[in-house]
Amino acid sequence: MTFVLQKGSFEGMKTLNQSTVLNIIRLKEPISRAEIAKFTKLTPPTVSSLVNELVENNLVKEEESVSSKAGGRRPIMLRINYSAHYIIGVYAAAEVMRTVLTTMDGKIVFDYVQKTMTLPSKAVFIDRLKESIHYVLDESKVDQRAILGIGVAMHGLVDPDQGVAIYSPHLHLGNIPIKEIIEEEFKLPVMVENDVRALAIGESWFGQGKGTADFVSLSVGKGIGSGIVINNEVYRSPFNTAGEIGHTVVNMDGPRCECGNDGCLEAYASEKAILNKMKEESRHYPESLLHEMKEDQLSIRSLFKAANDGDELAMSILNESGKYLGIAAANMVNILKPSKIILEGHIFEEGPHIVNAVKEMVEKYTFKSSPENITIVCSDLGKKGMVLGAVTLILKKIFKIGRLESV
Ligand SMILES: [Zn+2]
């Protein structure tokens, strides 16, 4: 795939060598031209010419080294010029569209959140997507020539090669050629990925997955999904549907899931499933704090608050959801044996109940042939995880991460 960047900003990563050099600088900065030649096995004149071009394009900056051998010339050291260029990241879900402008190191310099109240038609969704990017470009007042690309983390089934949203169940929309539409509108390179996989890519670049080659990012919100990273690359499968942990069956006789099957994990542990259970059960337990609450007061936050105040019903609802999540996570661990599981979502942030239940079940149900150290952590990217994932789609193209990661 060619990665043609907008003319006028710079001519783009014309060669693999150029992005290789850029990636070595990112991983090893500050670094001299001579050291780059050593790491990449490129000749010093080739490195010099590639670096000069990167400096001219403002992607790399030079600084004088503070230390030098006695009498020797101080080498010029190179660093990535992170704040000279920008990336736009969009997270498009059923209930929210968030569009950010970041520097190359993921600092959000402009943030635009639109809450979605009603389900949009395809045309309205596309207009909203375009308008949100126009708004960020106009209001942030950055020179469009300094923007490297637009990444879109889209809810639902996505074909990342074609940049098409194939089907978005929560939006009830299908076949949206996002890449084609947005590239046509903004004349910038566009990358599109499923939101949960984009999140895993963001975790590997900015979050708890940094420096971890194999991990699973388990995401719980309206639905439940996972991003599987194997050897530093997100795994998609030939069908672009890998990681649908929400639709693994945890009880054959369980409640009906939105997908039509019975007993899926999502029917037990998604936010929606937990809220439904809360509404249902609170009616039958007059002694519970939840019983006194009006329907519009029942929320994930109020459930955790009641559990923190020692309410038995609240604790049992959280414990049950945590156990089902833990069973699904343990099954995944038995198959993939990742070194880390990263938990992402509101239900992991409000209190320890669900996290502890997941840890307990993974410990209990994971087959161990030898001592294994699988860590379970909560994401520290918070609500910005998805948009940073979208931004990382572009960063990964610019820096061509891959075989050089271990250098
Ligand atoms: Zn299902």
Q: Are residues 196 and 60 in the same domain?
A: no
**Same structural domain, 263 and 363:** yes
Kindly tell me if the per-residue pLDDT of 12 is higher than 60.
Answer: no
**Residues 30, 108 share a domain:** no
Q: How far is the CA of 65 from the centre of ligand 1 (A)?
A: 57
Task: Tell me, yes or no, whether 329 and 183 share the same domain.
Answer: no
* Same domain membership, residue 353 and residue 228: yes
Residues 285 and 142 in one domain: no
> Which CATH number covers residue 26?
1.10.10.10
Which pLDDT belongs to residue 170?
A: 83
Same domain, 363 and 393: no
Please tell me which residue, 208 or 401, carries the higher pLDDT value: 208
Asked if residue 393 and residue 335 are part of one domain, the reply reads: no
Residues 198 and 320 in one domain: no
In a domain, 180, yes or no: yes
Instruction: Give me the pLDDT at residue 36, please.
Output: 94
pLDDT of residue 397: 87
Confidence tier at 296 by pLDDT (50, 70, 90): confident
Is 295 a domain residue?
yes
- Looking at the domain assignment, is residue 5 inside a domain? no
* Angle in degrees, 0-180, between the axes of helices 271-284 and 312-336, rounded to the nearest 10: 150
Region 135-140 average pLDDT: 97
Residue 10 domain-assigned (yes or no): no
pLDDT of 121 higher than 80: yes
Give residue 324 CA to ligand 1 midpoint distance, Å.
14
Is 3 part of a structural domain of the chain?
no
Phi and psi (nearest 5°) for 66? -80, -30
pLDDT, tens digit, 9 for 90 and up, residues 141-181:
999 889 999 999 999 999 999 999 999 888 889 999 999 99
Per-residue pLDDT, 370: 66
Confidence class of residue 27 from pLDDT cuts 50, 70 and 90? Answer: confident
CA of 354 to the centre of ligand 1 (A): 21
In a domain, 323, yes or no: yes
> Is there a domain that residue 8 lies in?
no
Domain count, the chain: 3
Long-range pairs for 300-304 at CB < 8 Å and ≥24 separation? 300/271, 300/274, 300/275, 300/346, 300/347, 300/350, 301/350, 303/274, 303/278, 304/350, 304/351, 304/353
Q: Which domain holds residue 316?
A: 210-379
Q: Assign residue 102 the CATH number of its domain.
A: 3.30.420.40
Q: Are residues 251 and 369 in the same domain?
A: yes
In a domain, residue 334? The reply is yes
| Dist. CA 50–CA 36, nearest whole Å | 11
Distance 132 CA to ligand 1 centre (A): 32
The Å distance, Cα 257 to ligand 1 centre, comes to: 5
